[in-house]
Amino acid sequence: MSKRPLILDLVLYGTAALFAGATALWTTLTPHEHWGAVAFGGYASAAFVAAVLLMQFGASWLKRALVAGATGIAVVAIPLVAQAIERANGATGRAQEEVLVVEGSGRRLLDTGSPYLHADAIAGMADPVLGYNPYQPGMAVFGLPSALFGHHWWTDARVYFLLATLACLAAALRLLSEHAGKGTLLRALQVSVVFPVCALTFVTGGDDMPVVGLMVLALAFCASGRPLGAGLAIGTAGALKLFAWPVAVVLAFLVWRRFGAQASPFGALRRYLLGFAVPVAATMVPVLLLDARGFFDNVIAFGLGHGVVESPAQSPLPGFLVARYVPGGELLAPVLLGSAALVIAVLLWTRPPATAASAALWSAAGLSAAFLLMPSTRFGYLLYPVVLLGWWLPLRDAAATAAEQLSDGAESPGPSLAVEWWR
């Protein structure tokens, strides 16, 4: 039995332990510091167990899965619940701003029917950053438990970000388990949960995780030939964050190409677009009818850098550096972003993805370009391409298996050679 999977496990957990330790020692953000202090022990223990298994003969997939599950509990569940309990008991610095923003939007949604404040009301706040809600209206749903039942650890928005993400990943796992290898599915789950950028995001903020989880689920639906389910999944993601909309375009090209040879080539595309429209319309239309100005002030104006306060998303990536330091950069950065989007759109039109695996690569590349060139951006956004690339492995397996079965009706050949090493 090959030891390569265990070698990769050891590298993953060992590197993650170094990352967590460095975060605990040198970060200036209190939630990150607390995560690093707890996660270091979890990753270091996992690396030790992986090293022990590596010295054994024939360590099974089940043992690797148990280590991964225990690591997820140690570096995600335990520090998340600990920070939520401490925060509910009055401790400060136990959550990033986005948690407070989402919970505040849930309260406003119950009180006024809109999750947004207007710019003039935000300008009068002691901390205007917490007044802005740059998310789509659907994100306020994760703030409803706190709004309905008060502030407890179990009403913390991060708890529901985690549960929603795990539900999406479990559904994707079920959809792909028939045709993808166990090794690639385990690797995808490791990347989605215990990879340090994802674990840190779960514990300290979390709002990006259900969005990327829904992207993965949409890709799994596409791989299973279910365009309506894919539309509903990516539409729900689009109702949470605008980041999902470029992925929705990629999946539309995939559905168009994959089902274009059928008797009704646009039937599948119509089902996909219908699925996308339902959650987007259900969450956006009522808010736009009631409070279009609030939506514009928060999602559009603030997102483009025209709010009453600067966005805290200021990681020194190329788009931010151009906008901040290059003469005329405030205009140049959006031009660069728009040019990249135009190039990707042309390439999609001329060479649309043929499989869900290739759509995952297109999505990862497009989002990477966007995050690098956006004037307001964070290093943490790079978790999107990381997770999508992780799920490329089982999606590639599923595509290879489907092609083989269509050609001669053979049994599943297991993982493709292209991804065998990474199992």
Tens digit of pLDDT at every position of the chain (423 positions):
678 889 999 999 999 999 999 999 999 999 999 999 999 999 999 999 999 999 887 668 899 999 999 999 999 999 999 999 999 999 999 999 999 999 999 999 999 999 999 999 999 998 898 999 999 999 999 999 999 999 999 999 999 999 999 999 999 999 999 888 899 999 999 999 999 999 999 999 999 999 999 999 999 999 999 999 999 999 999 999 999 999 999 999 999 988 765 556 678 899 999 999 999 999 999 999 999 999 999 998 887 777 888 777 778 888 888 888 888 887 888 888 899 999 999 999 999 999 999 999 999 999 999 989 888 888 889 899 999 999 998 999 888 876 665 555 444 444 444 444 445
Burial group, residue 408, by CB count within 10 angstroms (0-12, 13-18, 19+): exposed
Q: What does the alpha-carbon distance between residue 226 and residue 218 come to, in Å, rounded to a whole number?
A: 9
Q: Is 93 helix (H, G, I), strand (E, B) or coil?
A: coil
DSSP code per residue over 94-141: SS-HHHHHHHHHHHHHHHHS-S---HHHHHTSSSGGGG---S-GGGGG
Question: Identity (one letter) of the amino acid at 96?
Answer: Q
Write the CB contacts of 378 (distance below 8 Å, at least 6 apart in sequence). 313, 315, 371
pLDDT for res 261: 57
Q: What does the alpha-carbon distance between residue 268 and residue 228 come to, in Å, rounded to a whole number?
A: 8
